[in-house]
């Protein structure tokens, strides 16, 4: 079984009796197939042979996996972190959470779907129009990663802003 699979991945068709293998598929065709796969599937297939590895490095494949507003997300980072990177490297960079807004928020791309994920700490949220301490208060706790924990009885989140940021 393993020998027959390895003969398919070889690009030299004459060594296995003259039949074509996966390595004989033009890279442009592999790129077209990769457009329909998830990033983990692309990375796994890139291990098969040189043609798949070359197609998996194509900017057109990775640009299709990035959200349409990825330039806006990159603008939250210092330019030296993302200048001269390929689209594959940009996807990898954005797949790791990066903090912004004084560390109160973090953005990253889901590695499978490419959707934008966002984490907002309690201090990163603004409660507008209510300065009355009966509705909310900062309570210090040792269990929190941050200095204090925000306790509220009612929070209203600007859904339009989150929808724009996460491209929902």
Residues 23 and 37 in one domain: yes
Residues 71 and 150 in one domain: yes
Confidence of residue 155 (pLDDT cuts 50, 70, 90): very low
Phi-psi region of 101 (alpha: psi -120 to 50; beta: other; left: phi over 0): left
Tell me the percentage of the chain whose pLDDT exceeds 90: 39
N-terminal to C-terminal alpha carbon distance within the chain: 45
Residues 115 and 102 in one domain: yes
Residues 141 and 80 in one domain: yes
pLDDT tens digits along 87-127:
999 999 999 999 988 888 889 999 999 999 988 887 777 76
How far is 138 from 118, CA to CA, in rounded Å? 22
Domain limit, last residue, from 64, 83, 112: 64
CA atoms within 13 A on the CB side of 4: 1
Mean of all residue pLDDT scores within the chain: 77
Residues 56 and 73 in one domain: no
Reply yes or no on whether the pLDDT at 16 is more than 80: no
Reply yes or no on whether the pLDDT at 144 is more than 60: no
DSSP state of 23: G
Q: What ranges in the chain are assigned the alpha helix state H? A: 2-9, 27-34, 39-45, 50-56, 59-65, 70-74, 87-94, 159-166
Backbone angles phi, psi at 35, to 5 degrees: -60, -25
Residues 59 and 131 in one domain: no
Give the residue among 71, 98, 38, 100 at the shortest CA–CA distance from 167.
Answer: 71
pLDDT score for 68 = 92
Residues 124 and 139 in one domain: yes
Residues 109 and 156 in one domain: yes
DSSP state of 106: E
Domain limit, last residue, from 64, 80, 99: 64
Domain limit, last residue, from 64, 81, 112: 64
Give the residue among 123, 83, 81, 88 at the shortest CA–CA distance from 109.
Answer: 88
Reply yes or no on whether the pLDDT at 58 is more than 60: yes
Residues 118 and 58 in one domain: no
Q: What range defines the domain where residue 17 resides?
A: 2-64
């Amino acid at each position: 079984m393993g020998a027959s699979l390895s003969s398919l991945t070889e690009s030299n068709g004459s060594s296995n009796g003259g039949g074509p293998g996966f390595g004989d598929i033009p890279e442009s065709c592999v790129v077209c197939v990769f457009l329909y796969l998830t990033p983990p599937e692309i990375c796994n297939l890139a291990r098969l042979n040189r043609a798949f590895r070359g197609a998996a490095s194509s900017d057109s494949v990775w640009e299709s996996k990035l959200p349409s507003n990825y330039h806006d997300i990159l603008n939250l980072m210092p330019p030296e972190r993302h200048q001269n990177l390929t689209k594959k490297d940009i996807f990898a960079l954005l797949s790791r959470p990066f903090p912004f807004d004084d560390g109160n928020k973090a953005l990253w791309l889901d590695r499978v779907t490419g959707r934008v994920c966002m984490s907002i700490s309690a201090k990163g949220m603004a409660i507008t129009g209510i300065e009355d301490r009966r509705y909310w208060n900062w309570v210090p706790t040792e269990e929190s990663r941050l200095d204090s924990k925000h306790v509220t009885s009612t929070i209203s989140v600007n859904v339009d802003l989150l929808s724009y940021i996460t491209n929902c």
